[in-house]
Amino acid sequence: MTTHQVEIPVPEHLRRWHELDARTVEPGSVGFVWGNCQAESIRRMVAPAGAEHGVEFVRLPPVFEMDEAEVGRLHELVAVAGVLVTQPVKDEYRVPGCGSEQLVALLPADARVVRVPTTYYEGLFPWQVHAHDAHGARVDAPLTDYHDLRLLQAAVRGSTVEQAVDHLVGCSPDPDAVRDLATASQHELRRRNATLDVDTTDAVVAGGATAMWTVNHPANATLREVGAGVLATLGWAGEPAVPDHQMLGSSKAPLDAAVLAALDLDPTAARPRWELAGRDVPWAEVAAAQLALYADRPDVARRAVDRYADRLDALGC
């Protein structure tokens, strides 16, 4: 019996990455931006300046999509790279050798390194969290990827979709708790950025209600500070190339009017529902999909509610 291996076509946006061969790359002529979903936006902003300095910034998959074979190829290419821009990635985060400092150790002696932040800010979205299974693996929520503490709590309580939505829409958080969370999140962002070449904390604070679309998807104005910081660190003149469209704005989380009021931010920026790919998504649709997940995976909901019990108590809903 003859078996035929199906060849998966290479996505067009990753074709250049798959074409590269370390044996034929001119040393120092390629650069990479390594990290999570923010990395590609950073690459786009600095690529034109890189081209002017003889460095082609090649698009990579984000770290959470890389398998061992691709990380192995990256090792070969980093060894001939001229520039590595990297977010902090733990050693062995997902596969062997994927840590940012593991990559730095492979660079040529004359290569440049720029360490940039993973901008994560909870101040605007006090109920937005990630949830995990018993092994610590992240479990994405249906539709939004992000979980909402109010829906997680509703699942643990056995609420219906209608009851969950009524509670979610009707609750008003404690203003002091909102401010305390925002302050703590700013301090944590500053602490994590202290050893890096770029700090986005000031941009997050200055951006107010429009600084972030979700807890880890910055708006262009916030991302621009990373691009500018990369160019400044490298000593390259010019401005980062920021497009007209919001690079990470395909999913926009709700902005609660009471949260904005507590933070003394523009109330007209309030957004009552999720916006996904340009569509306003009713809370009932989100709640139905996510409560169905929690019905199948009650451990996920219980674990998240237990982890964030203090925050739920402080917010009051």
Q: What is the pLDDT of residues 165-207, one digit of tens each?
A: 999 999 899 999 999 999 999 999 999 999 999 999 999 999 9
CATH number where 30 lies: 3.40.50.12080
* Cα distances (Å, whole numbers) of residue 89 to 33, 34, 101, 103, 285: 12, 8, 8, 10, 35
Residue 122 lies in a domain: no
pLDDT band at 93 (very low <50, low <70, confident <90, very high): confident
Number of domains present in the structure of the chain: 2
147, 236 in Cβ contact below 8 A?
no
Residue 306 lies in a domain: yes
pTM over 0.75: yes
pLDDT band at 317 (very low <50, low <70, confident <90, very high): confident
Residue 260 lies in a domain: yes
Domain stops at, among 52, 85, 115: 115
Decide: residue 74, CB within 10 A, 0-12 exposed, 13-18 middle, 19+ buried: buried
Residue 6 lies in a domain: no
151, 164 in Cβ contact below 8 A?
yes
Decide: residue 283, CB within 10 A, 0-12 exposed, 13-18 middle, 19+ buried: buried
Domain stops at, among 87, 115, 143: 115
Q: In angstroms, rounded to a whole number, what is the distance separating the alpha carbons of residues 130 and 148? A: 8
Least confident range from 3-12, 98-107, 246-255, 267-276: namely 3-12
pLDDT band at 6 (very low <50, low <70, confident <90, very high): very low
- Domain extent, residue 106, equals 12-115
**In the prediction, which pLDDT does 7 show?**
52
Q: 3-state class of 187 per DSSP?
A: helix
Residue 77 lies in a domain: yes
